[in-house]
Amino acid sequence: MPGEGRQRVDKWLFFARAIKSRSLAAKLVQAGRVRLNRDKIDQPSHPVKIGDVLTITLERRVIIWRVLASGVRRGPAEEARTLYEDMTPPAEARDDSLPDALVPVRAQGSGRPTKKERRRIDALRDDE
């Protein structure tokens, strides 16, 4: 049978649990956020085969997967992990400590009054 071992990219993304639903996978492909072997694809029906490399751009990350098998069903996560090899480079360690910057200072009288300043203004108005 021609095309043996090939599968639609939206179906494969759904079976590999990259996306929650097949329709969302199709929208992701149509938006141009999936690359197949470094080439942008925009058709959800584009076939993927074993050995292809998919680059998927999600919200805050980029995933690089090599296709190891075509999916048969959307099974548990352990089964889905057998469909691909994760080639994503490890994320760089971020420094979550506060920067050694000065605290921002606002010139007195500029911008909105602080709570303390507002109380003083209210006290002046109440005295009159």
Mean pLDDT of the chain: 87
Q: Convert the pLDDT of each residue in 18-41 to its tens digit.
A: 999 999 999 999 999 999 999 999
How many Cβ atoms are within 10 Å of 35's Cβ, its own excluded?
Answer: 16
Q: Quick one: tokens of 94? A: 């971020």
Beta bridge mates, 7: 48
Position 82 pLDDT exceeds 90: yes
The residue with greater pLDDT, 30 or 4, is 30
Q: Of 43, 41, 38, whose CA–CA distance to 87 is shortest?
A: 38
Look up residue 7 and give its amino acid.
Answer: Q
Whole-structure pTM over 0.85, yes or no? no
Q: Of 70, 42, 66, whose CA–CA distance to 54 is shortest?
A: 66
Residues contacting residue 86 through CB under 8 Å, at least 6 positions apart: 63, 64, 65
- Domains of the chain in start order, with CATH, are 7-86 (3.10.290.10)
Backbone φ and ψ for 45, nearest 5 degrees, come out as: -85, 0
CB 9 within 8 A of CB 26: no
